[in-house]
Amino acid sequence: LGPNDLDGVRLVVSAGGTREPIDSVRVIANRSSGKQGYAVAAEALARGASVTIVSTVSLPTPPGAVVVPVETAAEMHAAMNAAADDHDVVVMAAAVADFRPASAATGKIKKRDGVPEIVLEPTPDILAGLGENKRAGQVLVGFAAETDDLIANATSKLEKKRLDLIVANDVGAPEVGFAHDTNAVTLLRPDAKPVEIDLAAKRDVARAVIDTIVDIRRTR
Ligand code: C5P
C-alpha cells in the first residue's frame, strides 16, 4: 500500500449535504460539512487516482480533482449516474436528503399568508441505484451514519445496496461525524471481519478507506 497503488484508477466521490428547495429562498438541508468526502478525494489523488468530486460544498479543491457542483438530491443523482459510467470506484460520502418538498413554491412564501404546510416526498436512493447498475469490477462504497445498532443497520445497507464496503459511523458519539475534523468508523465488507478505526483525523479515516478499496481490487 503506497503512493502509486491507484495509478490509472478513476474514482468519483460525492461530498456534502443536499439542499432541497422549499421556495426560492428556503431549503431543507443537513449538517454534513463535506470534509470526509474531500479527505477521500485528497487521499485517492495522493495514491495516483484520477478524481471527480460531486459536491454540494465549496471547500478548497484538492489539486488535480475535477469538481461537479450540485445542490439537490436530483442533481446529485444525475451527476453520480453519469459519473458511474466511466469511474472504477464510486464512493457515496454525501448526506442525501431522504425527503424533499414535493414542489417548491415559486418566489418566496409570504409570512402574512400564514404557516405553510410543506408536503414531502421521498428522494431516490442514489446508492441503491448505483448498486443495481454496478459494472463488473466496479467498487461501490457507501457511508452509514447511525445512532444505534451500528453494525446491524450498516450490514443490512451493505447487502441491500449491493456495496463492496460500507463505512459506518456512530454519529451519537462525541467528536464523530458531521462537521467535526475527526471521525471514528467501522469498515464493513461482505464476508469479512469488521475493522474498527478509532477516533482519528478524517484524512486518516480516508487512508483506511482507500487501503480497503485497494485490497478489494487486489483480491478480485
Ligand atoms: O440508507 P442510508 O441513507 O442510511 O444510507 C446511507 C448511504 O446511502 C450513504 O452512502 C448515502 O450517501 C447514500 N444515500 C443515497 N441516496 C439517498 C440516501 C442515502 O445515495 N437518497
Render pLDDT for 138-191 as a digit per residue (tens, 0 to 9).
999 999 999 999 999 999 999 999 999 999 998 888 888 787 899 999 999 999
Would the CB of 209 count as within 6 Å of ligand 1? Answer: no
| SS3 call for 33 | coil
Going from the C-alpha of 108 to that of each of 20, 61, 75, 131, 168, the distances in angstroms are 14, 33, 22, 38, 38
Instruction: Give me the pLDDT at residue 2, please.
Output: 85
Instruction: Give me the pLDDT at residue 177, please.
Output: 77
**Is the confidence metric ipTM above 0.90 for this complex?**
yes
pLDDT, mean over the chain: 96
Render pLDDT for 1-21 as a digit per residue (tens, 0 to 9).
889 999 999 999 999 999 999
Would the CB of 177 count as within 6 Å of ligand 1? Answer: no
Q: Is 140 one of the annotated binding-site residues? A: no
- Give the residue numbers spanning the domain of 56: 10-218
Instruction: Give me the pLDDT at residue 45, please.
Output: 98
What burial class does residue 5 get, using C-beta atoms within 10 Å of its C-beta: 0-12 exposed, 13-18 middle, 19+ buried? middle
Render pLDDT for 12-69 as a digit per residue (tens, 0 to 9).
999 999 999 999 999 999 999 999 999 999 999 999 999 999 999 999 999 999 999 9
Residue 110 lies in a domain: yes
Residue 100: CB partners within 8 Å, gap ≥ 6? 20, 28, 72, 73, 120, 121, 123
Residue 3 lies in a domain: no
Residue 2 lies in a domain: no
Number of domains comprising the chain? 1
What is the CATH classification number for the domain harbouring 87? Answer: 3.40.50.10300
pTM over 0.95: yes
Distance 107 CA to ligand 1 centre (A): 30
Residue 152: CB partners within 8 Å, gap ≥ 6? none
Mutate to test the pocket of ligand 1, among 98, 125, 162, 167 (most ligand atoms within 8 A of CB): 125
Residue 27 lies in a domain: yes
Please tell me the residue having the least CA distance from ligand 1 atom 6.
144
Q: Is 125 one of the annotated binding-site residues? A: yes
Residue 111 DSSP symbol? G
Instruction: Give me the pLDDT at residue 36, please.
Output: 96
Q: Which atom of ligand 1 is nearest to the CA of 122?
A: 21
Would the CB of 142 count as within 6 Å of ligand 1? Answer: yes
